[in-house]
Amino acid sequence: MAKHMTLDTRKGIAHGLECRLTFAQMATMFSRAVSTIANEVKNRMRWSNKGYGCTNAVCEHFETCSKMYRNADGRKMPFKHQKKCFEMCEDFRQRTCLELGHAPYVCNGCDRQTTCPLKKRYYVADAAQTNYRGTLVESRRGTHATDEERADMSDALLAPVKFGRQSVGMVMSAAKEKFHGFSERTVYRLVNSGLLSVGRSDLVQACSRRPRKDKSAVTVTKTDAKCRVGRTYEEYCAFLALNFGVQTVELDTVIGSVGGKVLFTLMFACGLMLAFLRDANTSQTTTRIFNMLQGVAGTEFFKTLFPVILTDNGPEFSDPKMIEFYRVDPEHNPTKLERRTHVFFCDPYNSQQKPHVERNHEEIRRVLVKGSSFDALTQDDVNLMLSHVNSAPRASLDGKTPYDAFVSFHGERGREFLEKLGVRRVNAESVVLDPILLGEKFKKEANRAILHRHGVL
């Protein structure tokens, strides 16, 4: 018997679930432990919006709801009889199927799939195999220190190494718990990469030697080294197949001058782009932006705006869990998390898998010329640029502007959301897509960048 489960076995499990076989029966068929079959299904099942909201019974309060509204004739009518009333109701509480709380935990084989209005879970063999392969690859990439672990190591090393002239080995021997099980060689790599509070010049013996060439040394660290597990492009395609019609938001980063400020950009399916100025290209700043967006939009509208996110493999997106979940009650129960979106990653070096945000960067570069620094920009400058970029008519939208398309799709809530972010509609005849939009000083900076790029300066 193979130690690792194969695709054929996973297809057998999926077929068994469709036939309503128990975990014990499938365990006997595949010569596996019952717990192995159960864990395989629980760890690799995925949510689907198939049939979600086909009736208003998706709300916990549907049976007892007594809210009323007046129709066009002025007559009082039960609010729950409105189409998709749960999308407009402040008291909406999503109901979940009690059957999902016990084996088999998924909707495969359920007789009520076609009429059930609730969120569903499925076990899909191909998606489970892709998830397994991703886990296997990421688990063999070695250790990566999180921001918190590096902070502990920096605190432990700072005084003894810089002022006490101790070696890394001495400090690790005295404060083992601060190094979270990492080897001395890994700590030296982090020091040489400039990721700790002490540098190579602070090490008594190392600074007198020529640095060893080590191609495996860490140059850029990710918050979560296994962030791609369960979030690959193949799994994104499988998610879309289970959640037909869901709108994807694409993320990216636009770089100004090296080491300077950067722009975090996101683009909706309707063509509208938002951008936020950041001092550092880290996962923490990305998380703060999404927390801010949820605060501006409200939780329910945020989930409507960002049902699924597709991004590249940059370190700024390496903590997807903090994007996907939020703390429901941070003051009294900080460990309780609730999902607000789904994050997936493009394959490495395949930016064409998120072509819309890449293409729209060309519009941004009309104003923010490549090579010019973003350090003098403010968020108000960025919002002004976005107002003009999103107010330019697009042939792909049949002559409509991205701003109008967004407001047409999301209604008044969408317009208020953009208003709060400082993005406004500009008349077509007033749209300016040139560096002069941000002032004469920035126009000169753009001209300098163009000349430098062509070798004149």
Residue 146 CB burial class (10 angstroms; 0-12, 13-18, ≥19): middle
Specify the pLDDT at position 38: 94
| Confidence category of residue 457, pLDDT binned at 50, 70, 90 | very low
Specify the pLDDT at position 455: 61
Specify the pLDDT at position 216: 42
Residue 232 pLDDT more than 70?
A: yes
Report CA dihedral (227, 230, 234, 238) to the nearest 10 degrees.
Answer: -140
In whole angstroms, how far apart are CA 161 and each of 148, 168, 236, 352? 20, 7, 46, 47
In this structure, what token pair is assigned to residue 92? Answer: 């909406």
Are 171 and 155 in contact by the 8 Å Cβ rule? The answer is no
Specify the pLDDT at position 71: 78
In percent, the amount of the chain with pLDDT more than 70 equals 91
In percent, the amount of the chain with pLDDT more than 90 equals 37
Nearest 5°: CA angle at 406, between 405 and 407?
A: 95
pLDDT digits (tens, 9 = 90+) for 265-311: 999 999 999 999 998 888 888 999 999 999 999 999 999 999 999 99
Q: What is the DSSP letter of 94?
A: B
Mean pLDDT of the 211-220 span:
47
In this structure, what token pair is assigned to residue 361? Answer: 């960067």
- Domain extent listing, the chain: 7-138, 147-208, 233-453
pLDDT digits (tens, 9 = 90+) for 256-274: 877 788 999 999 999 999 9
Q: What is the DSSP letter of 108?
A: T
Specify the pLDDT at position 205: 65
In this structure, what token pair is assigned to residue 201? Answer: 């010049």
Place of tokens 């792909």: 396
Specify the pLDDT at position 292: 95
Are 426 and 402 in contact by the 8 Å Cβ rule? The answer is no
Segment among 24-38, 205-219, 317-331 with least mean pLDDT: 205-219
- 408-416 own/partner pairs: CB under 8 Å, 24+ apart: 409/270, 410/304, 410/305, 413/301
Specify the pLDDT at position 149: 85
In this structure, what token pair is assigned to residue 20? Answer: 């309503």
Round to whole Å and give the CA distance between 180 and 170: 16
In this structure, what token pair is assigned to residue 144? Answer: 């990566």
Q: What is the mean pLDDT of the chain?
A: 86
| Residue 163 main-chain phi, psi, to 5 deg | -110, -30
pLDDT digits (tens, 9 = 90+) for 236-253: 998 898 888 889 999 999
Residue 177 CB burial class (10 angstroms; 0-12, 13-18, ≥19): exposed
Mean pLDDT of the 49-77 span:
86
Segment among 85-99, 193-207, 315-329, 430-444 with least mean pLDDT: 193-207
Q: Which residues of 229-250 are buried (b: 16+ CB within 10 A; e: fewer)?
A: bbbbbbbbebbeebbeeeebbb
> What would the DSSP string read from start to end of 122-170?
E--HHHHHHHHHHHHHHTTS-----HHHHHHHHHHHHHHHHTT---HHH
| Confidence category of residue 328, pLDDT binned at 50, 70, 90 | confident
Residue 204 pLDDT more than 90?
A: no
Segment among 21-35, 67-81, 316-330 with least mean pLDDT: 67-81
Mean pLDDT of the 206-217 span:
52
Specify the pLDDT at position 206: 62
Are 197 and 154 in contact by the 8 Å Cβ rule? The answer is yes
| Confidence category of residue 131, pLDDT binned at 50, 70, 90 | confident
Mean pLDDT of the 387-395 span:
92
Report CA dihedral (102, 103, 104, 106) to the nearest 10 degrees.
Answer: 10
Specify the pLDDT at position 207: 53
Segment among 110-114, 375-379, 432-436, 448-452 with least mean pLDDT: 448-452
Specify the pLDDT at position 334: 76
Strand ranges inside 180-247, DSSP E: none
Specify the pLDDT at position 215: 45
Residue 1 pLDDT more than 60?
A: no
Residue 220 pLDDT more than 60?
A: no
Domain 233-453 superfamily per CATH: Ribonuclease H-like superfamily/Ribonuclease H (3.30.420.10)
Round to whole Å and give the CA distance between 24 and 447: 71
| Confidence category of residue 335, pLDDT binned at 50, 70, 90 | confident
Specify the pLDDT at position 141: 54
In this structure, what token pair is assigned to residue 297? Answer: 């939009």
